[in-house]
């Protein structure tokens, strides 16, 4: 029952997000735009603009939001399953701090936005790989694997925070530092 209610809420919110924006549409205009697109009868400039906004901006935005939400849910469930803790967060393995270091370095070096995002992702994955490597090496001495993984995650997170502080110290206080901070 709860899943059906949440699915219905998702459909309603998606429909609402199709109508809200700088170029607002009424529900009737939204439905007529969809009908015109399906029928292939885009006659006037207003319908053409509505089709462009709907199918080039709003539908991809909603689909991407759903995909990102699903990915975050799966990663959260994986973390909860691995650590057997419903209150676990990405900070536990140092992912957040390492991703912040990737962003800060990308902004410091003046890379384009796409490269900054890629660096954030790569640094986050690198932190997880480093935590797994450290915990694998440390658990050969028959220690509790989960505890060693958490402790190595705290160490990697602290190291990431220290590097982030160093990057902030090095950054230009007028241009780069505000971009890193905010």
Kindly report, residue by residue over 10-69, the tens digit of the pLDDT. 999 999 999 888 888 888 888 888 888 888 877 777 778 888 899 999 999 999 999 999
Q: What percent of the chain has pLDDT over 90?
A: 48
Instruction: Based on the fold, state whether residues 34 and 13 are members of the same structural domain.
Output: yes
Instruction: Based on the fold, state whether residues 99 and 170 are members of the same structural domain.
Output: yes
Instruction: Based on the fold, state whether residues 50 and 111 are members of the same structural domain.
Output: no
What is the mean predicted confidence (pLDDT) over 99-116?
A: 94
What is the mean predicted confidence (pLDDT) over 3-14?
A: 94
Instruction: Based on the fold, state whether residues 123 and 72 are members of the same structural domain.
Output: no
Instruction: Based on the fold, state whether residues 73 and 144 are members of the same structural domain.
Output: no
DSSP letter assigned to residue 40: T
What is the mean predicted confidence (pLDDT) over 82-86?
A: 81
Percent helix, strand, coil in the chain, to 5, is 80, 0, 20
Instruction: Based on the fold, state whether residues 58 and 109 are members of the same structural domain.
Output: no
Is residue 93 within 8 Å of residue 127, measured between CB atoms? yes
Instruction: Based on the fold, state whether residues 97 and 174 are members of the same structural domain.
Output: yes
Statement: residue 104 has pLDDT above 80: yes
Give the model's confidence band at 136: pLDDT under 50 very low, under 70 low, under 90 confident, else very high.
Answer: confident
Instruction: Based on the fold, state whether residues 95 and 39 are members of the same structural domain.
Output: no
Each as own residue / partner, the long-range contacts of residues 30-34 (CB below 8 Å, 24 or more positions apart, any chain) are 30/54
- Cα dihedral sign for 81, 86, 90, 93? negative
Q: Say how many domains are in the chain.
A: 2
Neighbouring residues of 127: CB distance < 8 A, sequence distance ≥ 6: 93, 94, 95, 97, 98, 99, 156, 157, 160
Instruction: Based on the fold, state whether residues 156 and 131 are members of the same structural domain.
Output: yes
Range of the structural domain that residue 63 is part of: 2-83
């Amino acid at each position: 029952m709860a899943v059906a209610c949440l699915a219905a809420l998702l459909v309603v919110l998606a429909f609402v997000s199709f109508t809200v924006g700088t170029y607002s549409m009424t529900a009737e205009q939204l439905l007529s735009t969809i009908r015109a697109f399906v029928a292939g009868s885009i006659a006037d400039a207003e319908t053409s603009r509505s089709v462009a906004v709907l199918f080039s901006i709003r539908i991809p935005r909603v689909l991407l939001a759903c995909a990102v939400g699903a990915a975050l849910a799966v990663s959260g469930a994986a973390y909860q399953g691995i650590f057997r803790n419903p209150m676990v967060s990405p900070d536990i393995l140092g992912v957040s701090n390492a991703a912040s270091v990737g962003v800060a370095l990308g902004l410091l070096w003046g890379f384009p936005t796409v490269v900054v995002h890629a660096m954030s992702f790569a640094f986050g994955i690198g932190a997880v790989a480093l935590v797994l490597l450290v915990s694998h090496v440390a658990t050969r001495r028959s220690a509790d694997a989960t505890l060693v993984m958490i402790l190595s995650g705290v160490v990697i997170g602290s190291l990431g925070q220290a590097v982030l502080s160093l990057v902030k110290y090095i950054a230009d206080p007028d241009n780069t530092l505000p971009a890193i901070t905010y």
